[in-house]
Amino acid sequence: MRLAVRLGPDLARAAGVPVLAVEVPEGATAGRLLQEIERLHPGLAGLLAHCVVTAGGRIVGRDEPLPGGDNVAVLQPIAGGAHGAGGACQFETRSARLRACDA
């Protein structure tokens, strides 16, 4: 499947583009997507190690399959953040409010 992947600001600056077209197999995981981005743009390797993948307005774990056709983004965590109820961290983006459990 072909995905348009929006990159966070530092990634976009390093890649030279804000959005990447990335081809991954159907059912590919978020981790597989990051591997493919690293293959296409080796200079992003150090940055990708700490990124999260979002699809359809939620964080996708590295072992989770990506839903096809969704709005996909690769974002770098920001120091700090707001802790919500139940020990969950909240991440703000322009398009969606995302929640992820603390590890």
Contact (Cβ atoms closer than 8 angstroms) between residue 65 and residue 29 = yes
* 86 lies in some domain: no
Q: Which amino acid is at 34?
A: L
- CA 82, 84, 90, 96 dihedral sign is negative
* 53 lies in some domain: yes
Contact (Cβ atoms closer than 8 angstroms) between residue 34 and residue 66 = no
Predicted TM-score (pTM) of the model is 0.74
* 103 lies in some domain: no
* 90 lies in some domain: no
* 102 lies in some domain: no
Alpha carbon 63 to its chain's center: 13
- What are the pLDDT digits (tens) for 76-99? 887 654 444 444 444 544 444 444
* 93 lies in some domain: no
Question: Nearest Cα to 51, choosing from 5, 102, 8, 100?
Answer: 8
* 55 lies in some domain: yes
Q: For 31-36, what is the mean pLDDT?
A: 96
- The CATH number linked to 16 is 3.10.20.30
Contact (Cβ atoms closer than 8 angstroms) between residue 18 and residue 86 = no
Question: What is the number of domains present in the chain?
Answer: 1
Instruction: Name the token pair of 14.
Output: 């390093």
Residues of the domain holding 56: 2-77
- What are the pLDDT digits (tens) for 43-73? 998 899 889 999 988 999 999 999 877 689 9
- What are the pLDDT digits (tens) for 7-28? 999 999 999 999 999 999 999 9
* 39 lies in some domain: yes
